Amino acid sequence: MALSQNEVLAGLAEIVNEETGIATEAVQLEKSFTDDLDIDSISMMTIVVNAEDKFGVKIPDEEVKNLITVGDAVNFIVAAQ
Amino acid sequence: MSTKIVITGIGATTPLGGDARSTWQALLAGESGISTLEQEWIARYEIPVTFAGQAKVKATDVLTPQEAKRLDPSSQFALIAAREAWADAGSPDVEPERLAVEFATGIGGVWTLLDAYDTLKEKGPRRVMPMTVPMLMPNGPAAAIGMEISARGGVRTAVSACASSTEAIANALNRLLTGEVDIVVAGGSEAAIHPMPIAAFASMHALSKRNDDPTKASRPYDVDRDGFVMGEGGGALVIETEAHAKARGAKIYAELVGGAVTSDAYHITAPDPEGSAAARAMLQALEQAGASIEDVVHINAHATSTPVGDIAEYNALRRVFGDHLDNIAVSATKASTGHLLGGAGAIEAMFTVLALHNRLAPPTINLENQDPEIKLDVVTSPRELPAGDILAISNSFGFGGHNAVVAFRSYN
């Protein structure tokens, strides 16, 4: 069964927290991965790979650069399920 | 007057303790850091050697989860030891361009490398994490320290098997003597208690097989020694010019007066039984110190507890010191710590510095029947060292025929 936007956000927040230590509450839809959360490209790729595993989706490398905000990533995952 | 180079900070995490002080106290108390490995992979792979010197305090209990996640265990030990040494030196406020790191490893990120290969085989290339490369590279520990203390004067990694971290300290001495930098964090670490390296060392018959009595297995110079015992951890020294140390009012443990590196070109693993290149390293270190052999009162020997290695080092020592060798208090501290491979020289240099600073040579445990061919005055319980101006050396030798020696002088 496909997960809702909120469920994907919660799951993604856990992945971000595990990789970076950023509190899950701080991982909000409008936050930019680089500008707000200070996530570097290596951490971003780790988060992407862990998200693929967790949500059973494919996030192509060329798509990753379009995932500016947490909301971009959540929406991509919701659509790709 | 030549530039004096001094030790102003020490740090370690070892099978004897989670820091330098507890390690030294346990060493003086004659403790063993060796224990049976309880990991499930011992049975799964039927590993023939079932014990080692595991770090007394787990690195993951000290570091934040995010630090631990981004660092191979070899870098975790390095960061813990270097942080302690840096704090012990007073966390000096220094010019980043005048600060360097010389931090060694024998093997590097072996856990990361092999875990990543398992992931590749089981889950495919997409699941091999992007941090894999910086975590497995042998300069990872040095780089982690360099980032931590903002060292911009050069971050380097000597890789010469079990001589690595002694070579790193010799390199630090040279960088300070040339005037390129004022202060260096030097040392080494290793984290290779993993089934593959244990299997490989066991396969070459380098390891003790005393599975039923692990605390007695590392027994340098004893007639019943049957190989070395793997250990893990790291050690770090803060080394700087005396002028720099004095200008900032630092406490000084000892003076680093010599460092030399030679090579056997004899055999890829066996030491040259004559020990001529090893002897030359000792003589060069003493020459750099401007010292005579009679000045040496204490030696922290390489002494890994292998049948041939201990004899070869003894032959080299006799070649260098002649009859004066009988007057030298020799400690073989791997009896307590096991062999930290690329981290061994660092913790043994630290023991040598502390021996001079405290005028106390640490004991060699498990020496029950001294090999009659090895006529050394081995320290078996803590022994007071003489007053006055005294010198000590620490030896490290590694597969590949690497010989590295550092010499320290007491500081008043």
Look at residue B1 and tell me whether its pLDDT is greater than 70.
no
For B230-286, how does the pLDDT look when each residue is reduced to its tens digit (9 = 90+)? Answer: 999 999 999 999 999 999 999 999 999 999 999 999 999 888 888 899 999 999 999
Evaluate whether B89 touches B9 at the Cβ level (below 8 Å): yes
pLDDT at B75: 98
User: Among residues B335, B268, B259, B255, which one has the least CA distance to residue B302?
Assistant: B335
Distance CA B213, CA B368 (A): 14
The average confidence (pLDDT) of chain B is 97
Would residue B357 show up in a list of annotated catalytic residues for this protein? no
Q: Is B167 a member of any domain?
A: yes
B126: nearest CA partner in chain A? A49
Q: Report which residue type is found at B338.
A: G
Look at residue B381 and tell me whether its pLDDT is greater than 70.
yes
The residues pairing with B241 across neighbouring beta strands, listed in sequence order, are: B5
Contact flag B130-A45 (C-beta cutoff 8 Å)? yes
Out of B162, B194, B244, B298, pick the active-site residue.
B162
Q: What distances in angstroms separate CA A29 from CA A72, A81, B346, one per listed residue?
A: 8, 18, 49
Closest partner residue to A42 (CB to CB) among B126, B127, B130 is: B130
Backbone angles phi, psi at B231, to 5 degrees: -130, 170
User: Among residues B251, B237, B104, which one has the least CA distance to residue B183?
Assistant: B237
Distance CA B292, CA B138 (A): 37
% of residues, chain B, pLDDT over 70: 100
- Interior angle at CA B114, CA B348 and CA B235, nearest 5: 15
The tokens 């949500």 sit on which residue?
Answer: A55
Evaluate whether B355 touches B347 at the Cβ level (below 8 Å): no
The residues pairing with B398 across neighbouring beta strands, listed in sequence order, are: B402
pLDDT at B2: 76
Look at residue A1 and tell me whether its pLDDT is greater than 80.
no
DSSP output for B78-115: HHHHHHHHHHHTT-----GGGEEEEEE-SS-SHHHHHH
Q: CA quadruple B38, B39, B40, B44: dihedral positive or negative?
A: negative
Domain of residue B256: give its range.
1-403
Distance CA B343, CA A48 (A): 36
Q: Is B159 a member of any domain?
A: yes
CATH of the domain at B357: 3.40.47.10
pLDDT at A2: 85
For A5-48, how does the pLDDT look when each residue is reduced to its tens digit (9 = 90+)? Answer: 999 999 999 999 999 999 999 999 999 999 999 999 999 999 99
Average pLDDT over residues B19-34: 98
Contact flag B126-A46 (C-beta cutoff 8 Å)? no
pTM tops 0.90:
yes
What is the CB neighbour count within 10 angstroms for residue B382? 16
Average pLDDT over residues B22-45: 98
Contact flag B129-A49 (C-beta cutoff 8 Å)? yes
Asked if A16 is an interface residue toward chain B (Cβ–Cβ < 8 A), one would say: no
Interface of B with A (CB under 8 A): 64-66, 69, 126-127, 129-131, 134
User: Please, which residues have CB within 8 angstroms of residue A79's CB and are 6 or more apart in sequence?
Assistant: none
Alpha carbons within 13 A on the beta-carbon side of B265: 2
Distance CA B337, CA B262 (A): 26
Which CATH entry fits the domain spanning A5-80: 1.20.120.430, 3.80.30.20, 3.50.50.60, 1.10.1200.10? 1.10.1200.10
- Chain A segment 42-71 residues within 8 A of B by beta carbon are 42, 45-46, 49, 52-53
For B45-72, how does the pLDDT look when each residue is reduced to its tens digit (9 = 90+)? Answer: 999 999 999 999 999 999 999 899 999 9
Evaluate whether B192 touches B49 at the Cβ level (below 8 Å): no
The tokens 């299997």 sit on which residue?
Answer: B199
- Name the pairing type of β-strands B296-300 and B391-398: parallel
The residues pairing with B237 across neighbouring beta strands, listed in sequence order, are: B10, B186
pLDDT at B294: 97
Residues in chain B with CB shorter than 8 Å from the CB of A45 are 129-130
Shortest distance, CA A3 to any CA of chain B (angstroms): 23
Would residue B162 show up in a list of annotated catalytic residues for this protein? yes
pLDDT band for position B412 (cuts 50, 70, 90): confident
For B135-193, how does the pLDDT look when each residue is reduced to its tens digit (9 = 90+)? Answer: 999 999 999 999 999 999 999 999 999 999 999 999 999 999 999 999 999 999 999 99
Distance CA B16, CA B34 (A): 9
* N-to-C CA span, chain A: 9
B68: nearest CA partner in chain A? A19
Out of B324, B339, B357, B402, pick the active-site residue.
B339
Distance CA B159, CA B197 (A): 17
